[in-house]
Structure 1
Amino acid sequence: MTIFALQSAGGSPGVTTSAIALALGWPSRVIVAECDPSGGDILAGLLGGHVPPGGGLLTLALEAGRAGDLAVSAFWRHLIELDAEGSRLLLAGLSDPRQSIALQPSWPGLAATFAAVPCDVIADCGRLDASGAVPPLLAAAGLVALVLRPTLRQVSRARPRIDMLTEMVSRERIAVLLAGDGPHSRAEVAGALGVPVLAALPRDAKAAALLADGLGSRRALRARPLMRSAAGAGRALREAAALAGRPSVASQQEAGYPAEIAAVDAGDRS
């Protein structure tokens, strides 16, 4: 299905919280994949340490290295259910940022696997900077959304990162997701950055405390402003990805992206 890659320009706008909120409001089965090279937070945050570590992104990559391939069927063993129905799933991220070095050769295979699973994947890619980008994953994404607050500081940080993204993906697959409060409107941010602002998630301290740190009860979560907005934001992201379409095999190969990603795309279109 489609990979939705979320990144920030720094300043902690809440990429992980946004990813979880989007997933909980997603209209179909979805996987949250913690792909931030600096490490994942959901096991200790939303899940409050109640799920023992094990499996996850690094173990999946190590298994793939030993087997020489990433079987989609084996991928499901590494997922954790985030709801009773098993329709919101988690691929837990790294527990130590030093592990990201060992993970680098595995990104092409991981990206190809994400693109091949029969449901959407929301990839929390953390902060976008010169050393923290994951180009193979971005190349396979149907949409890359830069998460930021509508403030001058965040917009200023986003400008060069939009330029960085255009070196890795086509501009029509880049968008902005606003998170939290700020003095600037969606139209002002879109005009300053030259890419569409697809949605805005409001500041919601109670919902954020639950999603980020597991504080509070899930009982009333669905009625919170953040969750109501997240459902609409998810629809906007899916519509934008559908309009953008996937990059052609030729364009991926010309850009130097791994052949296995292009092969997955070709298989989807056949």
Structure 2
Amino acid sequence: MAILLLTSASGAPGVTTTALGLALCWPRDVLLVDADPHPSHAVESGYLVAGTDAGAGLADLAGAHRAGTDLTAALWRQVIALPGIDGRPSPTARYLSGFGHPAQPALFTMIWPAIAASLAELGDAGVDVIVDLGRAGPDGPPAELCARAGAVGVVTRCGLRPLAGLAVNAEILETVASRTTATVGLVTVGAGRPYSAREISAQFRMPVLAEMVEDPRAAAVLSDGAPGPRGWASGRYAAGLRHSASRLAGLLAEAAKEVAL
């Protein structure tokens, strides 16, 4: 169960930026999967600045599934190495691009079970998986991914407006929790602005799995491919990513041990 799902219930709290930052700071081999049902190619047009051919990604897997070929092998052929912040390929982080058309997610209803199984195979082989699910629709994330997950993080900012949106969409959280035996918790962005992680956890009766620093300028390096400010790698934002990546990787490792027992 070395799969981490990241989603949000409302708004745009920065799921993709968070997922990408965690992948780049992950302490083990990791695959970042763009499974946002509202396709935008945010990583390709942002962090990669359209300078890397990310391939067909998930879209290619539908054809492989129809042809009855080895889906795990087909998936791995579509994977690219993510460049690190210094521009060199990351030794541990890889990326699978997402849907190329708004109609494609609806075609994956019958394919998700096989893809989820392939992602679980990667986990068994020592590659952790982070799945960027973007904003969840009213039906919640794919049940097959939820069932295979080791942890599910619901990303939210800490202001009144995003938390009100989270409360209004509480049924989505309940749907996610009903589909998995994994830990379902919150990933906060900007705790203390104005509500603390502890206050938010108590309000929603969910654990806080990780806390992200809110720093728009530093985050723009990931979201838009902006030049990194001096000392980016040693700043609070990057340090927060490394701490959260280590914590979440440990959570997945514990989940995998429990399954093995």
Q: Could you tell me how far 1:61 is from its partner in structure 2?
A: 2.8
Give, as a single letter, the amino acid of the residue that structure 2 aligns with 1:55: A
Q: Could you tell me how far 1:200 is from its partner in structure 2?
A: 1.1
How far does the alpha carbon of each residue in 1:25-80 deviate from its partner, in whole angstroms, 9 at most, with x for none?
A: 1111111100111113111111111123533111123212212552x233221011
Q: Hey, what's the Cα distance between the residues in 1 that align with 2:25 and 2:186? A: 18
Report the counterpart of residue 237 of structure 1 in structure 2. Answer: 248
How far does the alpha carbon of each residue in 1:108-138 deviate from its partner, in whole angstroms, 9 at most, with x for none?
A: 1111111111200110001123145211111
Q: Could you tell me how far 1:230 is from its partner in structure 2?
A: 0.8
Report the counterpart of residue 201 of structure 1 in structure 2. Answer: 212
Report the counterpart of residue 103 of structure 1 in structure 2. Answer: 108
Show structure 1 runs of 4+ deviating over 6 A: none
Task: Give the alignment partner of residue 123 of structure 1, picking from 122, 131, 138.
Answer: 131
Residues 1:185 and 2:196 aligned together:
yes
Q: Hey, what's the Cα distance between the residues in 2 that align with 1:151 and 1:245? A: 34
Report the counterpart of residue 235 of structure 2 in structure 1. Answer: 224
Q: Could you tell me how far 1:8 is from its partner in structure 2?
A: 0.7
Conserved 8 A contact 2:140-2:175: no
The gaps in structure 2 that reach 5 residues or longer are 84-88
How far does the alpha carbon of each residue in 1:126-154 deviate from its partner, in whole angstroms, 9 at most, with x for none?
A: 11231452111111110000000112332
Report the counterpart of residue 262 of structure 1 in structure 2. Answer: none
Q: Hey, what's the Cα distance between the residues in 2 that align with 1:31 and 1:22? A: 11
TM-score (norm 1): 0.84
> 1:127/1:221 Cα in 2 relative to 1: closer, same or farther (>3 Å)?
same
TM-score (norm 2): 0.86
Q: Hey, what's the Cα distance between the residues in 2 that align with 1:125 and 1:204? A: 22
Q: Could you tell me how far 1:81 is from its partner in structure 2?
A: 0.9
Residues 1-270 of structure 1 correspond to what in structure 2 (within 5 A)?
Answer: 2-39=2-39, 40-52=41-53, 54-67=55-68, 69-70=70-71, 72-83=72-83, 84-117=89-122, 118=125, 119-131=127-139, 133-159=141-167, 160=170, 161-170=172-181, 173-180=183-190, 182-217=193-228, 220-244=231-255, 269=260
Residues 120-129 or 60-69, more deviating:
60-69
Residues 179-188 or 114-123, more deviating:
179-188
Q: Hey, what's the Cα distance between the residues in 2 that align with 1:242 and 1:158? A: 28
Q: Hey, what's the Cα distance between the residues in 2 that align with 1:52 and 1:26? A: 23
